[in-house]
Amino acid sequence: MQIFVLKERYLHIRVPFHRHRRAQLIHVSQGTLTVATQAHQWTIPPQRGVWIAPGTKHRITSGTPFVLTTCYIEPELFGSQQEGIVAIDALTHALLPEVAELGSEWSAPEAKRLAAVLLDRLAALPTPDVGLPIASTGPLLRLVQTLLDNPETPEPLSILAPRAGLSERSAARQFKAEFGMSFGVWRRQLRLQTALARLGEGLSVTQTAFEVGYKDVSSFITAFRAQYGASPGQIFRDHA
């Protein structure tokens, strides 16, 4: 069997680091889900999915009810696909539960044709957004972990870096060298990922903006729209 799909509903979930032989497309149709590997983190809003390569250690967490559809495909079909988050188009979204209904019943020609169409659609999905990079070792990991635990902190790098055993200049260089972005850009992406999770938990836009460290709602909405191509209300209202 080259592909199979599972559809499940959860009230909440916390699965520690684990791995699968097959590649996965983890898709959320309602609610939000945070997926992290040892190198990147993604928060998946409705109608998005994240590719995980075969054998990649990853963990998943969510504190809110969500609908999870996981598509497993054989490693050779994943090929050189990039890990990351992708938008799920309407046809792929419709096909996933249909293939999930097949279970292990793959003998009928109709089932094989349906699976083949889904494989074609998966291959046509856009290039993934690689997500929020995470350091794996050393002082930079300590700094990153502090921010993951406290994304709303207003403290500048000049205060945060020494606590992790780095100078401000060294920390700034390491963010650029390891993550390909400045500290400010990285922190903004972290805050917006955190905002997705909070909105999925039912917080208002105003509550979310202040909780993730924005001083006013309008600047939060502007940053959110620039990152995700839609306002918070559009993402969660359209897929409620």
Q: What is the pLDDT of residues 119-129, one digit of tens each?
A: 999 988 888 88
149 and 197 share one domain: yes
10 and 34 share one domain: yes
Mean pLDDT over 87-107 rounds to 86
14 and 50 share one domain: yes
The domain total for the chain is: 2
In a domain, 128, yes or no: no
Picking from 83, 84, 94, 93, the residue whose alpha carbon sits closest to that of residue 46 is 93
Q: What is the pLDDT of residues 126-184, one digit of tens each?
A: 888 878 999 777 899 999 999 999 999 999 999 999 999 999 999 999 999 999 999 99
159 and 102 share one domain: no
Residue 215 domain boundaries: 135-238
Per-residue model confidence (pLDDT) at position 64: 86
What pTM was computed for the model?
0.85
141 and 89 share one domain: no
Q: What is the pLDDT of residues 192-240, one digit of tens each?
A: 999 999 998 889 999 999 999 999 999 999 999 998 888 998 887 755 4
Distance CA 222, CA 224 (A): 5
49 and 108 share one domain: yes
